[in-house]
Amino acid sequence: MMELGYRPSMTTVHRRTCPLCEAMCGLLVHVRDEQVVRIEADRDDVWSRGHICPKGTALGHLHHDPDRIRTPMIRQADGTFTEATWDEAFARIDELLAPVVAGHGISAVTSYVGNPLAHAMDLSRYVGVLIGLSGMPMIYSPGVVDQWPKNVSSHLMYGGMWSIPVPDVRRTELFVLMGANPQASQGSLLACPDLMGEIAAVRERGGRVVVIDPRRTGTAAKADEWIPITPGTDAALLMAVAHTLFAEDLVDLGALDGLVNGVEEVREAARDWPPERVSAVTGIPAARIRDLARELAHAPAAALYGRIGTCNQEFGTLSSWLIDVIAVLTGNLDREGGSMFARGSAWSVNTLPMEGLEGGAANFGRWRSRVRGIPEVLGHVPVSCLHEEISTPGEGRIRALITVAGNPVLSTPEGDRLDAALPGLDCMVSVDNWINETTRHAHVVLPGLSALEQSHHDDLIWMFAVGSAAKYSEPVFPVDPDRPREWEIMIRLAGACLGMPMAEVDVAGIDDGFFDVLAMTRGLDGPSLRERYDGGGPDRLLDLQLRTGPFGDRYGEREGISLDAVRAAPDGIDLGPNVPRLAEVLTTASGKVELAPPYVLADLPRLAERLERPPGGLVLTSRRHLRSNNSWMHNVPSLVKGRDLCTLLVHPDDARRCGLSPGGLARVTSTAGTVEVPVEITADIAPGVVSLPHGWGHGRPGTRIEVANAHPGISFNALAPGDLYDVPSGNAAVNGIPVTVAPA
């Protein structure tokens, strides 16, 4: 008989949806001896059909990263972190948080919730419990360094802040991208795998692609035309486009006729904005602006899309609003090949109506920030307020902060001031997988799981997709069943804010209550529904979201999907392209599209003033790279190898004027700070504009990200002034920052 002592190692292949960006690519993860040996694209994935990028192949590195923390960490008096048990960590949080709440009330506590939670199974669903149940009156997020202007315009125009139309790129004949670079970002508020392939396809079928951006990006390089624009002047350009549509009698609402209020008000507002008036400030010839209006009006279907560059700027709300105004005026809203509203297979928890803001009311300014007195908008004030709310003494000072999947020290304006303010907190807890520039200040860091240890089904992202699908991923690696999951941590932290000892919080009871509330919003009785389930947590919520979503079986009432059905289809279930559905989306008080919200129109005088600003001087803009993901993936060796990405892009004329040489160091100064950074001279940027990536600035003491610290770069947001923002939304203008540049 042969001895059976030797077992050859086996490779198993796991199907996973990548949670790193909106493309939601299906991946095949090859595992041998508990090691990820290879990650490749899943060609059978119903959604992504074989698309992948270098970040997706790095999921294994993220999982195996020796710097990733796997147990709670408690900071000691000397600033070093030591590993702790969950009970020790919970006890330490009780010890620090309870006195803050008891002595100063819950308004002394706030939270900063970051970007990865939008892509995480547990956090996207349960962060609402932390925010809603804890009673903390306000929170901070990078939403106001991202899409808040679009949230404002959608709230006012359609009645829902997340009712954001998505360019129907697969069927359009004219795709105009403003301030978006999918070559790097892979799409934003636009979920569509392989956008660069789709851009090529538009051109192959005889359509046109136009990129309006101060930089000739990787996307612009693959388009029919690059139109350079002065940063922050998109709203002026679009006012002139609207003017031209009216002046040349090109307005045609098509199928929207009768569903739109305010066309005459927009006509009136656009009367004073002929292309000649905005040509100098935008840098775009008047004739080109007129032609753009004509092209948009005459194309069989046109998709006008604006993203970060049109939001993270001085006139974000006007630009975001105008993009949809032009779509309406040219009959391209809610039309195939135009801009459409997606149907998420699982309705997102985020889309529930907000108290006091029903019907698209412009009921902003319900409260103001304590120090600067900035009015809230949709529950947020500029995130740059956070540092001063911590460091300015007085009644109402923030004394405790919970960060969840966020790195505001690098990612938000005046990040260096926040870095200096965080040590002043009585209690800081971070739910995060790394000890980085922000979390190094935490008293306690509670780790989540790696992506490969969690199940996955996207939540909010499906609301911005070019079609509908449902895809569920099982975890690749098992985890100790007793280890608290992130959804459970959210519930325990909420309890702690209410004064309960963390270890004693009734997680199952609160989870049941959350389920019942969500079931009620669908007209269902939670307690009786719960009898169908063995356990709670995110899977139970997801089943509810799927079954009561647009394709769901409503618990057997009709044919449709459920979590079981989705689980049984490991490559996903394709639920088809977007269909016109505006009437169903509209939740404005009038039941119509409000094309001319007075709150937005009231910002036009500020735009008119911008036209008078004397030209000259340099302005700073942001950019992304395919191999970065905001601030947190620079610890992956394969993503940081090669040439330095953290460089200042400068036009040759400006380089000459400033005395800069290629590869030399430049000193860049704004009203907020100064950095020194290597120079890259290129004609691929408009004169008068310089560009830096954000998310760098590593190498700080006490962090545990060895690879990133060996490639530190500098922090863009040390240069971003907190007082430079889009007034109607409070969203940061990290594009168009006045700077001076000199050799270092």
Ligand X SMILES: Nc1nc2c(c(=O)[nH]1)N[C@H]1C(S)=C(S)[C@@H](COP(=O)(O)OP(=O)(O)OC[C@H]3O[C@@H](n4cnc5c(=O)[nH]c(N)nc54)[C@H](O)[C@@H]3O)O[C@H]1N2
Interface residues with ligand SF4 (CB under 6 A) are 18, 20-21, 23-25, 52-53, 55-56, 186
User: How near is the Cβ of 271 to ligand SF4 at its closest, in Å?
Assistant: 44
Binding partner of residue 632 among ligand X, Mo ion, ligand SF4, none, CB under 5 to 8 Å per kind?
A: ligand X
Helix, strand, or coil here: 679?
strand
Q: Per residue, what are the HEC states of 112-125?
A: EECHHHHHCHHHHH
**Token pair 């690879």: residue:** 707
User: How near is the Cβ of 18 to ligand SF4 at its closest, in Å?
Assistant: 3
Count of residues engaged in binding Mo ion, rule: CB under 5 A: 1
User: How near is the Cβ of 575 to ligand SF4 at its closest, in Å?
Assistant: 19
User: How near is the Cβ of 62 to ligand SF4 at its closest, in Å?
Assistant: 11
Residue with Cβ nearer ligand SF4 (21 or 278): 21
User: How near is the Cβ of 324 to Mo ion at its closest, in Å?
Assistant: 20
User: Using CB under 6 A as the criterion, which residues of the chain lie in contact with ligand X when the complex forms?
Assistant: 21, 114-116, 120, 142, 145-146, 178-182, 184-186, 188, 212-215, 217, 229, 231-232, 234, 307-310, 312-313, 404-408, 411, 431-434, 436, 448, 621-624, 626, 628-632, 694-695, 716-717, 720, 734-736
Helix, strand, or coil here: 191?
strand
Residue with Cβ nearer ligand SF4 (52 or 619): 52
Binding partner of residue 25 among Mo ion, ligand SF4, ligand X, none, CB under 5 to 8 Å per kind?
A: ligand SF4
Binding partner of residue 60 among Mo ion, ligand X, ligand SF4, none, CB under 5 to 8 Å per kind?
A: none
One-letter amino acid identity for 558?
A: R
Residues with Cβ < 8 Å from 253, sequence gap 6 or more? 259, 260, 263, 328, 329, 331
User: How far apart are the C-alpha atoms of 229 and 212, rounded to whole Å?
Assistant: 6
Binding partner of residue 331 among ligand X, Mo ion, ligand SF4, none, CB under 5 to 8 Å per kind?
A: none
User: How near is the Cβ of 165 to ligand SF4 at its closest, in Å?
Assistant: 22
* Cα atoms in the 13 Å half-sphere on the side-chain side of 384: 23
Alpha carbon of 560 to those of 467, 573, 607: distances in Å?
17, 11, 49
**Cβ contact 682:649 at 8 Å:** yes
Residue with Cβ nearer Mo ion (146 or 432): 146
Residues with Cβ < 8 Å from 123, sequence gap 6 or more? 116, 117, 404, 405, 448, 486, 487, 490
User: How near is the Cβ of 313 to ligand X at its closest, in Å?
Assistant: 4
- From the list 17-25, 138-146, 154-162, 734-742, the region that binds Mo ion by CB under 5 A is 138-146
The interface mask with Mo ion, positions 140-179, x = CB under 5 A, is ------x---------------------------------
Residue with Cβ nearer ligand SF4 (142 or 360): 142
User: How near is the Cβ of 404 to ligand X at its closest, in Å?
Assistant: 6
Residue with Cβ nearer ligand X (451 or 561): 451
Alpha carbon of 568 to those of 533, 556, 564, 579, 581: distances in Å?
18, 17, 6, 26, 29
Residue with Cβ nearer ligand X (55 or 335): 55
User: How near is the Cβ of 369 to Mo ion at its closest, in Å?
Assistant: 22
User: How near is the Cβ of 410 to ligand X at its closest, in Å?
Assistant: 6
Helices 121-134 + 538-547 axis angle, to 10 = 100
594 binds Mo ion (CB under 5 A): no
User: How far apart are the C-alpha atoms of 314 and 720, rounded to whole Å?
Assistant: 12
Q: For residues 673-710, b (16+ Cβ closer than 10 Å) or e, as one string? A: bebebbbbbbebbbebbbbbbbbbbbebeebbbebbbe
φ, ψ dihedrals at 637, nearest 5°: -55, -45
**Cβ contact 243:209 at 8 Å:** no
Binding partner of residue 18 among ligand X, ligand SF4, Mo ion, none, CB under 5 to 8 Å per kind?
A: ligand SF4
Residue with Cβ nearer ligand SF4 (25 or 266): 25
22 binds Mo ion (CB under 5 A): no
User: How near is the Cβ of 399 to ligand X at its closest, in Å?
Assistant: 21
Residue with Cβ nearer ligand SF4 (556 or 642): 642
Residues with Cβ < 8 Å from 519, sequence gap 6 or more? 525, 526, 529, 544, 548
Binding partner of residue 24 among Mo ion, ligand X, ligand SF4, none, CB under 5 to 8 Å per kind?
A: ligand SF4
Alpha helix segments (H runs only) across 581-688: 582-585, 598-601, 604-611, 637-640, 652-658
Query: Across-strand partners of 429?
Result: 402, 444
User: How far apart are the C-alpha atoms of 143 and 323, rounded to whole Å?
Assistant: 19
Residue with Cβ nearer ligand SF4 (39 or 400): 39
User: How far apart are the C-alpha atoms of 283 and 680, rounded to whole Å?
Assistant: 23
Residue nearest to ligand SF4 (CB): 56
**Token pair 């980085």: residue:** 436
Residue with Cβ nearer ligand X (131 or 431): 431
Residue with Cβ nearer ligand SF4 (57 or 319): 57
Q: What residues make contact with Mo ion under the rule CB under 5 A? A: 146
